[in-house]
Amino acid sequence: MWLGDPMRLYQGFWCLSFLLESVVSFQTHFKAHDTDILLASIPKTGTTWLKSLLHTIINRQNLSKNCSQLPLHTITPHELVPHLEVTIYKTIIGNQPDLATISSPRLFATHMPYSSLPTSIKTSKCKIIYVCRNPFDTFVSLWHFYLQFEMSKDIKPNMDMMEEYVEKYCMGILPFGPLEDHVLGYWKESIENPQKVLFLEYEGLKKEPKAHLKKLAEFLGIPFSKAEEEGNVIKDIIELCSLKNLKEMEVNKSGKFYPWFENKTLFRSGKVGDWINHLTPTMIKRIDAMQKEINKAGFSST
Chain contacts with ligand A3P (rule: CB under 6 A): 41, 43-49, 52, 137, 141, 144, 241-243, 246, 266-270, 274
State the pairing for strand pair 107-110/37-41. Answer: parallel
Measuring CA to CA, how many Å separate 36 from each of 33, 51, 183, 300?
A: 5, 14, 21, 28
CB 271 within 8 A of CB 133: no
- Active site (annotated) includes residue 55: no
| Residue spans of beta strands (DSSP E) within the chain | 7-10, 13-16, 37-41, 107-110, 127-132, 197-201, 256-258, 261-262
Question: Of the two residues 36 and 137, which places its CB atom closer to ligand A3P in the complex?
Answer: 137
CB closer to ligand A3P out of 29 and 268:
268
We find the least distance from the C-beta atom of residue 131 to ligand A3P, in angstroms, to be: 8
Is the CB of 44 or the CB of 55 nearer to ligand A3P? 44
**117 DSSP assignment:** S
Minimum distance from CB of 255 to ligand A3P (Å)?
Answer: 14
CA nearest neighbour of 238 among 60, 93, 110, 47: 60
d(CA 240, CA 70): 10
Least distance between ligand A3P and beta carbon 290 (Å): 18
Chain-centre distance for alpha carbon 276:
23
Report, in Å, the least distance between residue 145 CB and ligand A3P. Answer: 7
Instruction: Tell me which of 111, 144, 212, 278 is the catalytic residue.
Output: 111
How is residue 224 annotated by DSSP?
A: P
The secondary structure of 14-30 as a DSSP string is: EEEGGGHHHHHHHHHH-
Closest contact distance (angstroms) between CB of 233 and ligand A3P is: 18
Distance separating alpha carbons of residues 195 and 34, to the nearest angstrom:
12
CB closer to ligand A3P out of 115 and 265? 265
Please identify, using beta-carbon distances, which residue of 52 and 87 lies nearer to ligand A3P: 52
Cα–Cα dist 120/29, whole Å: 10
Active-site positions? Answer: 111
